[in-house]
Structure 1
Amino acid sequence: MSRLAILIWLTTASVCVAQDLPDLLTPHDHHEWARFAPGSWKKLRHTSQAFKDGVAGPISVSTQTIRLKEVGDDYVILETASQSEVGGQVFDKPTLTFRSGLSGEPDRYTATVTPGDQEAISVNGIAYPCQLRKVVITGQTEQVSGNVFYCPTTAPWVLRRRFEAREIGGDTVIKTIATDPIALDMPYPVLAENKTVAFFRTRIVVPEKTSTTSVEIHCADVPGFVVSSSTTTNDAAGKTLNRTTITLVSYEAKPAERNPAAARRRGLFRRNR
C-alpha cells in the first residue's frame, strides 16, 4: 500500500459553508492528530506474516511509537520511532519525521476539496445524515480522487470513503480504495478503559495484482484514532500474500487548547488562495 493510499485511508472530512470552498478536508477538532496537542503519542505493536506458495513464513514483530510534534493551520508533523524483535532481541530503527496536510496529502502534494450534496447513509438500520465532500489529491505521478461522507454528529465523523487512483494524464484506474462502516457507537475496551469506538472495513484493489482487506477499530479519544486492525493481502488468484495485525500498546492524549480567534483562523473553512 502506498503512503498516499494510507493517508487517504486514515483521512477525515470537514463541513462546508455557503460560498466558502474549504481547502481543508478535516477541521482540527475532527482530525485524527490535529484534535490533540503536540506531545500526544501512541505506541502500536505490529505482527506480520508473509506467505509464499501457500506456505506461511516466520512471524515478524515490531513496535512503533508515533508522536505529534507540531500542529499548523493546514498540516501536522509526526515523528515515528520503531523497533523490530528478532530472536528475542530488540533492534532500533532510524527515527523518521514527516509532514502531512490536514486533507491527507503528503508533503509536496496538493489537495482540493469541493462540497457536494447532503446524503444519508444507513448503518445497521440507523440513518446517519452526511455531507458529501469531493476530494482530489495530486502528486507528481499519481492522482487520487473520490468522495468522502462526513457526519458532523457521530465520531469518527468520516463514515464512508470511495477513491480511485490514476497516473497523471491517464484514464486507467490503477487502484481503488473503499471504506465502509460496520458498526458505530460501540463499547470497546481500550487498554484499561471502556471507550466508544467504530468498526470499519477497507478494501484496496490494484487491478490484476493484489487486493487488501482491513478491519479497523477507531476511537476518537486516541491519537491517530486506530486502536486495532487486522489486514490480509491476496494476489490476483486469491492466494494469501500477507497477514498483519496492529494493536494499541499505550498512548497519551493531550487536549488541544482552543480559542475563538484561533478557531476562526484555523477552523473549518478558509478561502482558497
Structure 2
Amino acid sequence: MSDESDSDFFEARPVERRRLRSAGAGLFILVGVLVGLAVLAVIADVVVRSVVESRAAAEVQTSTGLDDVEVDVHGTSVLWQIAHGSLDDVTLTSGVEGDPVVVRVDVADVPTSLEGDSGPVTGTITADQATVDGLEALRQQGASLALGDDAVTYSRSFSVPIIGDVPVAVTAVPSLSDDGRSVSFAPTTASLPDSSLQLDLTPFLGDFATSVCLAEQLPASVTATALDVRAGEVTVDLRSPGLPLTSSALSEKGTCS
C-alpha cells in the first residue's frame, strides 16, 4: 500500500497552465500601466513647461516693453522643479540678429512663488546705431554718437579756449568704468565740423573726455562686464548677483558715482 502511495507521489503531474498564464498577463498589465503613467508624466511635464514659459514670456514682455520675448525653462522635469519651489535655469531672449535690440538673459534659481530674488544673472544686450542714439544719457548731453570698430565718434558742443562753445567731433575709445556702471570715452582725435575754423585741438583732447551712465538704464543690481563696439552696433555683457522678481523692484534703476 505504501509503495503505491510513494509511486503516485513521484508521478509527473500536469502544470497548471491557467495559473501561469494569469500571472504572465498580470505582469504585462503592470508593465503597461507603468509605461502609460510614464508617458502621461512626460506629457504633463511638457504641457506644464509650455504653460510656464508662455506665462513668463508674457509677464516679461509687459514689464520690460521688449517685443517677441521667449522663455526657455531648462532641466529634465519642470514638475519636479516646481515641487521644490525653484526653477534651476531659465533663459529669456528677445529679438534675432539684425533687430534693433537683441537680448539674452540667463537666470539661475528662479523662485516659482515670484517672491524674493533670483540667483545669479548673466546677460547680453546688442543694440544698433539708432537705439544708441535714443539713449536718454546722450540726449541730456546734447550729443550724437557714431559707432565704429573699437571706437566711437561723438559730436557735441564743447567750450574751447578763446573761441568759446563750438561743436566738436571727437573720436574716442570707449571702456567700462565705475565698476561697470558707466562707459568712459578716451579721446584720440578731435576736429571742428565747421570748416571755416582752423584750430589744432590736440592740446585740448583731455577736455573732450566724457562718460555715459549705463546704470541709469538698468536695474539697480546690474553692472556691465564687457563692452564690444563695432560699426553700427554695440554689445554689452551684464551680470547681477540676483534680481528682485517684482515689477516695482525691477523698475528701480542704478546710479553712477
TM-score (norm 2): 0.29
Structure number with the higher strand fraction is: 1
State the structure with bigger RCO (CA 8 A, min sep 6), 1 or 2: 1
TM-score (norm 1): 0.28
